[in-house]
């Protein structure tokens, strides 16, 4: 199993699992939120990969007069074939809207700009659980992202992160999670992921930890 995975697990447990750690990111703004996660993938053939995430949110937009993104998500993936895959997403506030955000996507091969839509203003049990984004990429490549998170019982939920490219592969993951603490600052996640260029049925079963400051 990847040494990098265990290093990330140790950091997540120490930072987010200790008493009071949920306040660690609230230094300059009460709206600060920092999240980090690590997943280890396994297959029946013994192949697998390691991935690590970092998400930083500052909805008030106080950094550098709002010039920096309100939300940034970076993921690093150590692929089973020895290569790596990196991608990042950035969201910017559009005026006073809480539902539409300017957004950018970049990975090792693609750069796209577009918009992210959060439909929670409909106030329904379905729309408050997901968000969508669309990007225009290089070479007439269109990228679509769908993110969902549903807590079906207190402390138990299901989430998904899916990426579709018209001129590329389809990637994503579906995970079940459980809160280790009532405030949700440390979660265990298990599920199915597919971040390679192979077919969907050639994905991997994954497990890991996710920490959040609030």
pLDDT in tens, the chain (214 residues): 566 776 777 667 766 765 554 444 334 445 678 889 998 887 666 677 788 999 988 766 555 455 678 888 999 988 777 778 899 999 988 877 778 989 999 988 889 999 999 887 777 777 778 899 999 988 888 999 999 999 999 999 999 999 998 877 788 899 999 998 888 789 999 999 887 766 666 678 889 999 988 6
Q: Report d(CA 167, CA 180) in Å as an integer.
A: 40
Residue recorded with tokens 């987010």? 16
Could you give the 3-state DSSP secondary structure of residue 60?
A: coil
Q: What is the pTM of this model?
A: 0.82
CATH number of the domain encompassing residue 40: 2.40.160.40
Q: Report d(CA 103, CA 116) in Å as an integer.
A: 6
Q: Which two tokens stand for residue 58?
A: 């500052």
The residues, any chain, with a CB within 8 Å of residue 74's CB and separated by 6 or more, are: 53, 54, 55, 86, 87, 88
Number of folded domains in the chain? 1
Give the model's pLDDT for residue 62. Answer: 56
Residues pairing with 106 in the sheet? 88, 111
Give the model's pLDDT for residue 213. Answer: 82
Its domain, for residue 112, covers: 3-212
């Amino acid at each position: 199993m990847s040494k990098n995975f265990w290093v990330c697990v140790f950091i997540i447990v120490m930072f987010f699992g200790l008493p009071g750690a949920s306040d660690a990111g609230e230094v300059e703004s009460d709206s600060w939120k920092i999240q980090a996660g690590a997943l280890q993938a396994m297959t029946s053939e013994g192949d697998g990969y390691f991935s690590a995430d970092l998400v930083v949110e500052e909805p008030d937009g106080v950094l550098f007069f709002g010039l920096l993104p309100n939300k940034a998500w970076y993921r690093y993936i150590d692929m089973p074939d020895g290569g790596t895959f990196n991608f990042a997403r950035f969201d910017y506030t559009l005026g006073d809207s809480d539902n539409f955000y300017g957004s950018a996507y970049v990975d090792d091969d693609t750069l796209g700009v577009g918009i992210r839509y959060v439909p929670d203003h409909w106030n329904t049990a379905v729309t408050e659980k997901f968000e969508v984004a669309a990007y225009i990429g290089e070479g007439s490549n269109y990228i679509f992202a769908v993110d969902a998170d549903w807590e079906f019982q207190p402390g138990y939920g299901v989430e998904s992160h899916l990426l579709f490219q018209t001129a590329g592969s389809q990637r994503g993951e579906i995970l079940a999670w459980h809160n280790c603490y009532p405030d949700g600052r440390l979660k265990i996640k298990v599920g199915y992921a597919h971040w390679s260029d192979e077919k969907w049925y050639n994905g991997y079963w994954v497990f890991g930890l996710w920490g959040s400051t609030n």
